[in-house]
Structure 1
Amino acid sequence: MTEDIEHRLDRVESRFAMHDLVSDYCHGFDKRDWDRFAAIWWPDAVWDIGPPFGTFEGSDGIAHVTKDILWDAWLASSHYTTNLVITFEGKDRATGVCDVDCIGTTSDGQAQTVAASYFDIFERRGGVWKIAHRKVKMYHFNPLSGVTLSPPA
C-alpha cells in the first residue's frame, strides 16, 4: 500500500514538474529570461523547430537559435500553451503533447500569429525533470494584416 501511494505521489509531483517546464518555456522566451528558458533543457537536448528555422542540438545550439535568431526576429511575443497530455514511458521518462498559440510582433513591426503543437520527451535525471527533445509542428504562421500590437495607453 505504501509503495502504491509513493508511486502515485511521484506521478503527481512529476506531472506538476512537467507542467512547470512547459510554462517556463513560454515565460522564459517571452520575457527574454535566458536563465529561466535555459533551465528547462538538458545539456544534450534537441529542439526541432522545423521549417523555416531548423533543428538545434545541445545547450549551444539552443542558445544560438534563441539569442541570435529568434529573439532578434521577434520584438515581442506571447505564447499560450494548453491541452498538455503526459504519458509516462517509465519511472524517469515521459512524453507530452500540448497546443500553443503565439501572437507577437516581428522585428519588422508586423503582427503575427502562430498555431502549433509541441511534442516533448521529458527525462528525469538525478531526480530532476527537464526536456530532452521538443518537436514543433506548426499549423500556421501568418501576418495579421492591418493590425498593430501595442501596450494599452
Structure 2
Amino acid sequence: MSETSWLRPGETSQLDPRTLIERAAVTDVVVAAGLLFDSGEFDTLGTLYTADALFEMRPAPEGFPATVSTREQITDGLARLWQHNRETVGVHSRHATSNLLVTRLGADTAEVYSIFTVTGIYTDGRLGLRRLGNYVDLLHREGTAWRIAHRRLYMQGPPPVWPADGRDTDQPDTDQPGSEQLGPEQPVSEPAQEPVV
C-alpha cells in the first residue's frame, strides 16, 4: 500500500491481512462518528478529525453553513446541533451507518462511502425517521490512527461511488452553490431550522 489505489468490490487480491486491518480501522472511524454524536461525547468525537478537517453538507440546511473547517469548529457546531435537537426539538437521535464501502486505500489516505439513517426518539415517546443520506469520508493517517480529513454529507441524491472525471476527491467542489469555506475566525452560524446531521 505505498500509494493510494482504487479498490474494486470482490477483488480477492485486495484482501491480504494488512489491507483488511486498514479497512477495518477506517470503517470503525466512520461508524464511531455517528455513535459519539448520538451520545454527546464531543471531546472524543473531535479526536476522529484532523486539525484542519472540512465538513460539508450538500445541500446545507437553511441557516447552517455549507462548509465548516477545523476540528474545533466542527465539534462546536455538532455540539450546538446536538443541544438544539435535545432542548428545542425534544429528540434524541440515533445514527445508523451502513453499506460502508472503502473505495480508496493507500499508506496515508483512504476514502469510504456509506449510507446514514437518522432516527429520533422524542421526549413525548414518538419514534421517527429524521434523515437519510450518504457520507463520503476522506481519511488521512496520523501516526498509527486514521482520522477524517474531509466529510461530505449528501442529503438528497447519492454521489457517484467513483468519480467519472477522475478528479482528485480530496478537494471540495468550490463551484457548488453554498460551498464557501469558513475560516477559523468565522463562527458557525446558529441553525434557523432543524438541521439533522
**Coarse TM-score class (shorter-chain normalised):** 0.7 to 0.9
Structure 1 residue 106, shift from structure 2 partner: 7.5
Root mean square deviation, CA, Å? 2.7
Q: Which amino acid aligns with 1:73?
A: H
Partner of residue 146, structure 1:
none
Extract structure 1 runs of 4+ deviating beyond 4 A. Answer: 109-112
Partner of residue 101, structure 1:
117
Q: Normalized against structure 1, the TM-score is what?
A: 0.76
Give the whole-Å Cα distance in 2 for the aligned partners of 1:42 and 1:131.
Answer: 6
Runs of at least 5 residues in structure 1 that lack an aligned partner in the other structure: 1-6, 144-153
Matched, 1:48 2:64: no
Matched, 1:128 2:140: no
Percent identity between the two aligned chains: 27
Equivalent residue pairs, number:
134
**Higher normalized helix content (fraction of residues):** 1
Q: Please give the per-residue CA displacement for 1:53-72, whole angstroms capped at 9, x wherever unaligned.
A: 3211112211221122x112
Partner of residue 177, structure 2:
none
Q: Please give the per-residue CA displacement for 1:104-141, whole angstroms capped at 9, x wherever unaligned.
A: 2689x99551001000101112222111000000139x
Q: Which amino acid aligns with 2:82?
A: W
Runs of at least 5 residues in structure 2 that lack an aligned partner in the other structure: 1-14, 87-91, 158-193
Q: Normalized against structure 2, the TM-score is what?
A: 0.61
Matched, 1:72 2:83: yes
Structure 1 residue 89, shift from structure 2 partner: 4.6
Compare relative contact order (CA 8 Å, sep 6+) and give the higher one, 1 or 2. 2
Deviates more, 1:7-16 or 1:38-47: 7-16
Asked if the contact 2:55–2:69 (Cα under 8 Å) also holds between the matched residues in 1, the reply is: yes
**Higher normalized strand content (fraction of residues):** 1
Give the whole-Å Cα distance in 2 for the aligned partners of 1:122 and 1:88.
Answer: 10
